[in-house]
Structure 1
Amino acid sequence: MAGIDILASAMVGANATFLADLYARWVNNPDSVDASFQELFAALNDDARAVLHDASGASWSPRPKGGFAPEPEAPAPAKGGKPAAAGGLDAAAARQQAMDSLRALMFIRAYRVRGHLEADLDPLHLSKPKAHPELDPQTYGFTAADMDRPIFIDRVLGRETATLREIMSILRATYCGPIGVEFMHIQDPEQKAWIQQKVEGAPWTRQYDAAGKKKILQQLTEAEGFESFCARKYVGTKRFGLEGGEVTIPAVQTVIETAANGGANEIVIGMAHRGRLNTLVNVVKKPFTKVFAEFKGISANPDDVQGSGDVKYHLGTSTDIEINGRQVHLSLQPNPSHLEVIDPVVVGKVRARQDMSGDTKGRRSVMGILLHGDAAFAGQGVVYETLAMSQLIGYRTGGTVHVITNNQIGFTTVPVHAYSGLYCTDVAKSVQAPILHVNGDDPEAVVFCAQMAAEYRMKFGADIVLDIVCYRRHGHNETDEPAFTQPLMYARIKETKTTRTLYAERLAQSGAVSAEDGKAMLEAFYAQLEDAYQAAQTFKPNKADWLEGHWSGLKAAGSEEPEKEDITSVALDTLREVGSALARVPADFNANSKITRQLEAKKNAIESGEGIDWATGEALAFGSLLLEGHRIRLSGEDVQRGTFSHRHCVLVDQKTQAEYMPLNNIRDGQMRMEAFNSLLSEMGVLGFDYGYTLADPGTLTLWEGQFGDFANGAQVVIDQFIASAETKWLRMSGLVMLLPHGYEGQGPEHSSARLERYLQLCAEKNMAVCNFTTPANYFHALRRQLKRNYRKPLIVMTPKSLLRHKLAISSLADFAPGSHFQVVIPETDAIAAPDKVKRVVLCTGKVYYDLLQERRDKKVQDVAIIRMEQMYPFPKNTLGRVLSEYKNAEVVWCQEEPENMGAWTFLDRRIEKVLKDLGGKAQRPLYVGREEAASPATGSAKVHQQQQEALVHQALGLS
């Protein structure tokens, strides 16, 4: 039972002994009781404590943490020999006062915990809040006769004494008016006290003078005016307008202004489609003319910028605005209809901006604002994944302000079908975020909460949720008929005045803004929109702003500027310097003995120049980039050690648990690498790291799946951002995805990284998809990511068994000057002359070594094996040159995956075209591999081995 419930019952007599015993424990050790009881006991005055002291027999000698003064000397006996009470009252009166204070404190706490349950939050008033017994004074032993009697509460609510009626009036105004506050679930006492101090006494009712009220009305005018203007000019056009929730605009503007005044100089915003156009023009200041031109069908991009584009209510933009003399950069991220998937992207971008500016401790200079719908916030798991990252060392951003435009409906689904809890915001309690529910038809209360939310974030560096309870005046879109499914709600909406109308009437009645001035304000704004509408008839975009700032100097996709790639090889001295650091640990560092042997092996490989394995090749790429001025960010599940215990980029002292990163100790002044073991999340973390790349093209950012097919859980991020964002929204990314892949008999979920899915998404040179066979090629591919004059995602099918395979090694010369990345690796063994070769086997990845070993064991001389290291962009010219030597040979494609998976269906026709152009014996490739299957792999190790031997023999022509 919660502390408040126990106390409530105790004060009516049933559990007095229990309360007394609890108090006795608290006196001796405050931490031995629940935090809520600690708070209650510490707030009591001495008379109240005396009641509990008498019942418990507790000693007052110790001074409890946050407690009270020592017991005063006993007062002199009164006439008749009975001791007098403190303050001159007799014992009975003192006891009554103490009981009154205790009960009043419990009553007050009940409102702090449950007052929101009776708050007036719904502007439609479709249902009235139910009365809760915890908020009834009778629950605590008070009667009607007690309402006007002074209650001694020891300065709670700012009063030393007050009548019960006065206390209740303050509580009702604070917690049961247009704002419902949920904050008592927070464990941090400072945060709770701050919120309590902010809201008690209902300061929003007297916060704004005439100028402040006029400012809110102006913001509402612009929000509502834009929607109504668009509704008249573009009848029947989908725009996902904000009607019914227009107060969201002044709320977001207030959050931005407050954060800027608190020191933020950049705000990153993410939101779904509802209200996006309004946010674009009124918050991020996209020109009205440009938006109206897009309504006419004019592209958002100049004619010389290629790409598919996107519908206008998915687009983003950015701008610089001035707030009280401060320059603040605002950006609204483009977002697909997969609503909440933008959440981790935004916080990832915020993190990158903070890292780039050096704000890595306070993390207050850049802030994220996420706008949600109520159904999406409750229903989509990525919301929780994003919240769960909010205080983790590798992902925290100093807090995000979440603003929910709570339409009380999701498409056609009402709350009772949309979420199981009391509110759509319940998931935010998982990270102890305070939640401010507010009636959207009370603009001043909304703006007050928005200011409070931003102040909280800037002070405590933690997430906070602003839940604006409003409604959706139209259907899911402007062509939808909502009365089909919600007739009662939409009947009420039809008879409900708009928020601006109600507020303008309220200001006119109070004299803050006259009705004439309010009308003139709206007419002036309509005139401004009409001018922009006329200008849109001849508007043409003249620039694309996507390669400015940190992206300046990089090539835009489709532009006439040639794609260039700097040399990826590294000087031998630098390679040896990095290699030496990899094997060097401080003398007082107690490394694990097994790792010590691995480090020694790395040292020997570097010194001898031979036998460099996969992990060492990767580390050489990282270290050389660090020395060249690039940061490295590696994130994912268990990446520090590596899923297969191969990387060990973070060493752990076996006695102290201290950490040491060799790559951060190569030389003084170098850049730093960060490697973060992520929470057990794919969608959230991949989205975060993708967002990081949007902000910082100069850092090599990598996300690694624990197993490759675990990326299935992040498919929306892959489909909607990684594969398509450049062509849709002109947003480039250099993200590297590392996906362990390879058939070793580990079953369906630990074999395939679903190579086919990435290849199916490939077009317009949107990303690179590779399956490397050598550490050196991996090294060059990683360095290539930052040595180009453009950025593309890199998808890598990384090895498992090859991490320690005796043949999957490289020499130091393969990394040194003269070496380079190979999209295709030709035959490397001394076999028959090309014109004597009867068969060429094309393959990619780990199966190469199975083929190679079997060919050597069987001494086959007339079969060549060619490795395709990069499948997309398809290396047509290079593959043609390699295959041109084998005009008398047939060509087969060999893969481990089933025929309906892997690279076969993607490469088949492309290889065929190369062969036809060559005019040799082979006109198309033959398939060798596993048969079509619904599951990626067998779960039987024995069957796996049989299948693997069969496909290797068939590929080599041995069966």
Structure 2
Amino acid sequence: PPLSSEEETTLFLLKRSFEDFLARKWSSEKRFGLEGCEVLIPALKTMIDTSSAAGIDNVIMGMPHRGRLNVLANVIRKDLDQIFCQFDSKLEAADEGSGDVKYHLGLYHERINRETDKNITLSLMANPSHLEAVDPVVQGKAKAEQFYRGDTQGKKVMCISIHGDAAFAGQGVVYETFHLSELPSYTTHGTIHVVVNNQIGFTTDPRVARSSPYPTDVARVVNAPIFHVNADDPEAVMYVCRLAAEWRSTFNKDVVVDLVCYRRFGHNEMDEPMFTQPLMYKQIRRQQRVLRKYSDRLIAEGVVTLQEFEEEVAKYDKICEEAYKSSKDEKISQIRHWLDSPWPDFFTAEGEPRSMNCVPTGLNEEVLQHIGQAASSVPLEDFKVHPGVSRILRGRAELVKSRQMDWALGEYMAFGSLLKDGVHVRLSGQDVERGTFSHRHHVLHDQGVDKRMCVPMNHLWANQAPYTVCNSSLSEYGVLGFELGFAMASPNALILWEAQFGDFHNTAQCIIDQFISPGQAKWVRHNGIVLLLPHGMEGMGPEHSSARPERFLQMSKDDPDHFPEFNGDFEVQQLYDCNWIVVNCSNPANYCHVLRRQILLPFRKPLIIFTPKSLLRHPDARSSFDELADGTKFKRVIPDEGLATQNPDQVKRVIFCTGKVYYELARERRQHKLERDIAIIRLEQISPFPFDLVRAEVEKYTNAELVWCQEEHKNMGYYDYVRPRLLTVVADRKPVWYVGRDPAAAPATGSKFTHLNELKRFMDTAFDLRAFHGNDA
């Protein structure tokens, strides 16, 4: 006969024996066990069962380290021997990269839900020690799963987020994530939040950890119902969890369950909590375990017998012992077995790309003309656009007529062509619909009818993929995490996050440092997210100038002292080996190419693009349709194509640079009439460093001195990254001279006068052919 709810609860409370087993076998290992809140396991099961009965078949979960191993084992149902294997000190890493500690790993698993006899997919997202950082990532992945399944009301896919009390109250990203919950392009139609309320954060009392009586008060900002329940009363917990799941399935709104519990041992089982909470831990040591209290009650009531209870304990212990023995045979850590977002149709069974080729990224004339005409017109009749927008559209039409494109039109070409090929494009960030610099205008607003809007990009082709462009809340940490999660769901989508100004990414630094830069190394997780970061020194002051390229380049893993050797395609092999790609495109065609390459590559890597501000409308920063023609591709390096190439052995100086400063250098060279004496070469892809193409350029100009020129200060920008790699190219036979601003603490001056003086000073140096004689490089 089916088990009663009391018997079900008892059996799942038995899974606290899992914690006992780990404690016996690995007493000196960090486990971050659930002791004191063992009820979390049947609580999660109840929520999943109730949601499954309501039609949910995909649950995406995020949680901190406490209790993760138990959740992996007894909720997600990861094989116990693979979990126990992670404790082996002799474990070897079979996969690329660093791997991660066991209580940071995630999992994806499909199984039958026994309660409802329905298929269900459970995924627990991998995440770092940065508590709550995974919150927006979970939301983003759930949103993507809903989007690709057409689940517009969240009836098939849902999130469960598990939190600690101190982090829930203390981490600002919790607030940022709650404020995404009702936004049209970000809502996941309700999340169940479970707070494991230990009443202590590592060693910190609630009295000094929060200013509100409850850690869950932050949820009141969205009027989410909050249920506070005693975790030592399992039946009350089950009741509340069923109610929370029913609330979510009925109203599709957030709901919070606060499990008021305790932490039986120190923070990581090795820690001594009596140092800081002596009275609390005297009480805790006298506290009888919930399994014993509840089983005694059920035995007294005759629900189960003592013999049945002891048999269940022995049975589960035997399962753990057998798994423990089996784990001894596993000496290889297959991190690929812990993927939380597998892409089985994209990679081989071994997790490798199906090819290592990248096709050209050019487009035929018909496609370019079609997109150009759509980008310069309004697809709806009787739609009154603003006169300023009409002027922009007429300007685009003139560009298309002359087969030219500016930055906005180049972006249109990239997005539109990918949509034609069935690739979903999603652009998110602050003010991206219009564009911070009023250049994009992807959403048109009827000037006479409130809320009447038009997205021309969604009217390009009959059977195109959808284009999503959405202004975000004024959040970087939460929104970038959300878009990262969205990009995890499918490799066949171009997901872009644009910062209002490039330096604003620093308030999302946690997502960049913990997920984007090392994500593949830690969790073998490919991700193709694109960061668009407006960058350029234009006298706008310290806050709106630098996107801090030096930070991204410092985290790039390519070796500055080694010239890479590859058997196959150098470009593709080098991209496959890197942790992310950093580019600074100087013209619209190359920007279009790099966006298309991002999808046409046989693997996915994060792409960091330093985008322009003044170049958006610069008359020289335009491209011909010929630069996007069939057979063309992204140029990692743009060589000098002027008079210097006619007699390269007579060229006296080669200036390497990247981005906007090229146009200032080119103008200055014309004024000095030095086109035959000085070659200017643009690095469009900075990392991984294009060693092969740079070597070809250096060998072309055999008698020239080498200069790196940048507009950023010497201790910032690209110099510290580029210089050792240029020296590797020339095998230290030549010095590499620096031209640019002096070292500084602030990214830019706040004085326009000082800005222009600095520019003039380093431009004069760049074109003074006697500048470096007698100096040290």
Normalising by structure 2, we get a TM-score of: 0.93
Counterpart pick for 1:574 among 349, 355, 367 = 367
Q: What does residue 106 of structure 2 align with?
A: 316
Question: Which residue of structure 1 aligns with residue 177 of structure 2?
Answer: 386
- Asked if structure 1 preserves the Cα contact closer than 8 Å seen for 2:347 and 2:353, the reply is no
Tell me which structure has the larger Cα radius of gyration. Answer: 1
Counterparts in 2 of 1:316 and 1:773: CA distance versus 1, 3 Å: same
Task: Give the alignment of 1:50-129 within 5 angstroms.
Answer: none
SS at the partner of 1:864? strand
Contact 1:306–1:558 (8 Å) recurs in 2: no
SS in 2 for 1:748: coil
Residue among 73, 86, 92 paired with 1:281: 73
Residue 311 of structure 2 is matched in structure 1 by 520
Q: Contact 1:348–1:691 (CA<8 Å) still a contact in 2?
A: yes
Q: Note the C-alpha offset of 1:953.
A: 1.8
User: What corresponds to 2:564 in structure 1?
Assistant: none
Checking the alignment, whether the CA contact within 8 Å between 1:210 and 1:512 is kept in structure 2 is: no
Cα distance in structure 2, aligned partners of 1:271 and 1:548: 16
Q: Distance in 2 between matches of 1:721 and 1:790?
A: 17
CA distance, structure 1, for counterparts of residue 437 and residue 359 of structure 2:
32
Distance 2:639 2:313 in 1: 72
Aligned-pair CA distance for 1:523: 1.3
Structure 2 CA distance for aligned equivalents of residues 298 and 262 of structure 1: 45
- Contact between 2:354 and 2:602, CA under 8 Å: does it hold in 1? no
Shift of the 540–261 alpha-carbon distance from structure 1 to 2, 3 Å rule, reads farther
1:626 equivalent in alignment to 2:419: yes
Q: Within the alignment, does 1:765 sit opposite 2:578 as a pair?
A: yes
Q: Assess, with a 3 A threshold, how the Cα gap between structure 1 residues 913 and 755 changes in structure 2: closer, same or farther.
A: same
Show the 5 A alignment for 1:137-216: 211-216=4-9
SS of structure 2 residue aligned to 1:480: coil
Q: Which residue of 2 aligns with 1:602?
A: 396
CA distance in 2: counterparts of 1:904 and 1:558, whole angstroms: 36
Give the letter for the 1:799 counterpart: P
Q: Secondary structure at the match of 2:662?
A: helix
SS at match of 2:757: helix
2:112 maps to a residue whose letter is E
The equivalent residue for 1:91 is none
Please state how far the C-alpha of 1:553 moved relative to its aligned partner. Answer: 2.7
Alignment map for 1:747-766 (pairs within 5 Å): 747-763=541-557, 764-766=577-579
Report if aligned partners of 1:547, 1:556 keep a CA contact under 8 Å in 2: no
Match of 2:648 among 834, 853, 864: 834
Match of 2:750 among 939, 943, 956: 939
Q: Paired residue for 1:745? A: 539
Equivalent in the alignment of 1:589: 383
* Matched residue type, 1:214: E
What is the aligned partner in structure 2 of residue 491 from structure 1?
282
SS at match of 2:663: helix
Residues 428 and 623 of structure 1: is their aligned pair in 2 closer, same or farther, counting only changes over 3 Å? same
Q: Calculate the TM-score normalised by the size of structure 1.
A: 0.76
Deviation at 1:400, TM superposition (A): 0.7
1:292 equivalent in structure 2: 84
Question: How far 1:516 moved relative to its partner?
Answer: 2.2
**TM-superposed deviation, 1:830:** 2.6
Q: Secondary structure at the match of 2:86?
A: helix
Residue identity opposite 1:308 in structure 2: S
Match for residue 807 of structure 1? Answer: 620
Give the aligned partner of residue 259 of structure 1.
51
C-alpha separation in 1, matches of 2:355 and 2:548:
32
Instruction: Tell me the amino acid that sits aligned with residue 780 of structure 1.
Output: H
Could you say if the C-alpha distance between residues 578 and 871 of structure 1 is closer, same or farther in structure 2, counting changes exceeding 3 Å? same
Quote the Cα distance in structure 2 between the aligned partners of 1:865 and 1:597.
35
Measured in 1, the distance between the counterparts of 2:633 and 2:480 equals 29
1:952 aligns with 2:763: yes
How far off its partner does 1:557 sit?
11
Q: Is the 8 A contact 1:894 1:955 kept in 2?
A: yes
- Going from structure 1 to structure 2, the CA distance change for 1:389 and 1:593 (only over 3 Å counts) comes to same
**Cross-structure match for 1:674:** 468
Write the letter of the residue equivalent to 1:312.
K
The answer to whether residue 739 in structure 2 is matched with residue 928 in structure 1 is yes
Alignment RMSD: 1.7
Whole-angstrom distance in 1 between the partners of 2:391 and 2:92: 58
Equivalences for 1:295-694 in 2 at 5 Å?
A: 295-297=87-89, 299=91, 303=94, 305-323=95-113, 324-360=116-152, 362-540=153-331, 544-545=336-337, 546=339, 550-554=343-347, 563-585=356-378, 586-610=380-404, 612-657=405-450, 658-694=452-488
Partner residue, 2:11: 218
For residue 551 of structure 1, report the CA deviation from its aligned partner: 4.4
The alpha-carbon distance between structure 1 residues 668 and 284, as it changes in their structure 2 partners (threshold 3 A), is: same
Residue-by-residue CA offset, 1:473-527 (whole Å, 9 max, x unaligned)? 0001111000000001111111111111111011111111222221221111111
Identify which of 519, 524, 545 aligns with 1:725.
Answer: 519
Distance 1:251 1:244 in 2: 14
Query: In the alignment, is the contact (CA less than 8 A) between 1:843 and 1:895 conserved in 2?
Result: yes
Query: Could you give the per-residue CA deviations for residues 136-178 of structure 1, whole angstroms, max 9, x where no partner exists?
Result: xxxxxxxxxxxxxxxxxxxxxxxxxxxxxxxxxxxxxxxxxxx
The letter of the residue matching 1:220 is L
Aligned partner letter, 1:349: K
Match of residue 109 from structure 1: none
Contact 1:221/1:522 (8 A) holds in 2: yes
Q: Is the 8 A contact 2:353 2:603 kept in 1?
A: no
Unaligned runs of 5+ in 2: 558-576, 772-777
Higher alpha-carbon deviation: 445-454 or 786-795: 445-454
CA distance in structure 1 between the aligned counterparts of 2:725 and 2:353, rounded to whole angstroms: 26
2:682 corresponds to = 867
The whole-number CA distance in structure 1 between the counterparts of 2:329 and 2:689 is 42
Matched to 1:576, the amino acid is: Q
Identify the match of residue 496 of structure 2 among 690, 699, 702. Answer: 702
Q: For 1:730 and 1:299, how far apart are their aligned partners in 2? A: 17
Shift of 1:690: 0.3
Deviates more, 1:389-398 or 1:944-953: 944-953
Q: Which sections of structure 1, spanning at least 5 residues, go unmatched?
A: 1-208
My pick for the range that moved more, 575-584 or 774-783, is: 575-584
Q: Which amino acid aligns with 2:54?
A: G
The 2-side partners of 1:441 and 1:692 are apart by: 37
Q: How far did residue 298 of structure 1 move?
A: 5.7
